[in-house]
Amino acid sequence: MEQVKVFLDESEIPRQWYNILADMPSPMSPPLHPGTGQPVGPDDLAPIFPMNLIEQEVSSERWLDIPEEVLEKYLLWRPTPLYRARNLEKLLDAPVQIYYKNEGVSPPGSHKPNTAVPQAYYNKAFGIERLSTETGAGQWGSALSMACQMFDLECRVFMVRVSYEQKPYRRMMMMTWGANCIPSPSDLTQAGKKILAEDPNSPGSLGIAISEAIEDAVADEKARYSLGSVLNHVLLHQTIVGLEAQKQLEKIGVYPDVVMGCCGGGSNFAGICLPYVRDKIHGKDISIVAAEPTSCPTMTRGPFAYDFGDTAMTTPFMAMHTLGHDFVPAPIHAGGLRYHGMAPIVSHLVKEEIIEARAFDQIETFSAGVQWARAEGFISAPETNHAIAAVVQEAQRAKEEGKEKVILFNWSGHGLVDLAAYDAFLSGKLTHYELPEEEIQRALRAIEKFPKP
């Protein structure tokens, strides 16, 4: 029998996260205070995040210890198995080996609890009683709901309205874990009321939901805001995925030629690739590829610029690939990829040409996802299907070039709560969507006068 899975023993779980900021080949542009134009300091962020997480956000230590209390919770589903997708390999008939980390085995079904658990832990340790957050697909909201329950924190989730309506089961999961889930835009915040006054039928967006969650957290001194992607400390927590993968592949004597992941705010992709980015910076020949939707092509069509992280312009200016903070992506089913910006770390690495970005249409991603389910059994989250489409494309290229390749990717979550999206695809209701250039240019006018990185 050929080996399909590589496991790590619980005693082999990585005990430190990896911080890429210690190895960046060139300095990153700092976040700026929109009022003064000066770099933001830890005190500027204190109303939004607890100081222990702010310290991680700005840390340049290469390795940060994972607290015992967090490791204890991680062991509920970690280390996650590394799989070899042998059936897909046979189907594609290309000279490739395909390995993937199965992050769908966590209780909420994705990589998101890798950061939800430490974020809840650090907030609790800082004396915070309630967390407020946004969610797109509902994966992040459900992960934080579970983590808050583990550390006895209250949790309020602003869920992008289109997903709230498409995905009632995610809302039920959040409620089961004790959270309060509200469709966004809502009339609970000034940011939400303003959007509803302009468009009562707004489908919402991650940018709008972030504005609501920040406003809600800042108004209550016992509450803080929690973000499921984009920020340095979130990417840091996700590196456990890539660190485990490295140990697992070492066990079978394999090193990847290509590392891939889908990208919404950049966290699962960064999680699997940053330990390999470190190798690349130190001379390894390896391709690192991010997959995004053509309907929200932040890295492939958006400039690298200073912009706000949210629609209501409450965050600092962040240097990142962006489509403009008031860009509202089409309501595609991969709700977690509908974000106008991108993690500054991922954006910087794209700018430095260490990472490459490719965009995929939703029909192409669902075709790849269905092909995957029929070959490998597991039904992927619509976001994850973007990574699978990238893998299929890479395999086809290897075949055309006659080159052998080892591909590693992050299977970021299962799609068992996203079956309505599969229904829409299988019944022919999904359409191709190419974002018109005029819409990008319109949205980018909002950031024309901002400082340049």
> What is the contact surface with ligand PLP in residues (CB under 6 A)?
110, 136-137, 139-140, 229, 262-269, 336-337, 381, 383-384, 412-413
CB of 414 to ligand PLP, least distance (A): 8
CB of 37 to ligand PLP, least distance (A): 28
Give the Cα separation of 261 and 384 in Å (integer): 8
Output 196 or 242, the one with its CB closest to ligand PLP: 242
CB of 311 to ligand PLP, least distance (A): 18
- Which residues make beta-bridge pairs with 100? 83, 409
Output 266 or 344, the one with its CB closest to ligand PLP: 266
228 within 8 A of 127, measured Cβ to Cβ: no
CB of 405 to ligand PLP, least distance (A): 23
Give the Cα separation of 27 and 50 in Å (integer): 25
Centre a 10 Å sphere on the Cβ of residue 26 and count the other Cβ atoms it contains. 7
CB of 136 to ligand PLP, least distance (A): 5
Output 34 or 81, the one with its CB closest to ligand PLP: 81
Which of 137, 212, 134, 147 lies closest to 178, judged by CA? 147
269 within 8 A of 346, measured Cβ to Cβ: yes
Output 114 or 405, the one with its CB closest to ligand PLP: 114
Give the Cα separation of 288 and 363 in Å (integer): 24
Output 125 or 424, the one with its CB closest to ligand PLP: 424
| β-strand pairing of 82-84 with 96-102 | antiparallel
Give the Cα separation of 336 and 130 in Å (integer): 23
Q: Which residue is nearest to ligand PLP (CB)?
A: 336
CB of 268 to ligand PLP, least distance (A): 3
Output 361 or 383, the one with its CB closest to ligand PLP: 383
CB of 108 to ligand PLP, least distance (A): 9
Output 31 or 335, the one with its CB closest to ligand PLP: 335
User: What's 316's DSSP letter?
Assistant: P
CA-derived radius of gyration, the chain = 20
142 within 8 A of 423, measured Cβ to Cβ: no
CB of 409 to ligand PLP, least distance (A): 12
Give the Cα separation of 366 and 329 in Å (integer): 18
Distances (CA, A) of 311 to 36, 208, 298, 446: 20, 5, 15, 11
Q: What DSSP string describes 169-229?
A: HHHHHHHHTT-EEEEES-TTSHHHHHHHHH-TT----HHHHHHHHHHHHHT-TTEEE--SS
Give the Cα separation of 85 and 276 in Å (integer): 21
CB of 327 to ligand PLP, least distance (A): 17
Output 256 or 413, the one with its CB closest to ligand PLP: 413
H-run or E-run covering 72: helix 68-74
Output 153 or 263, the one with its CB closest to ligand PLP: 263
**The token pair that represents 373 in the structure block:** 């389910």
CB of 265 to ligand PLP, least distance (A): 4
310 within 8 A of 304, measured Cβ to Cβ: no
Output 196 or 294, the one with its CB closest to ligand PLP: 294
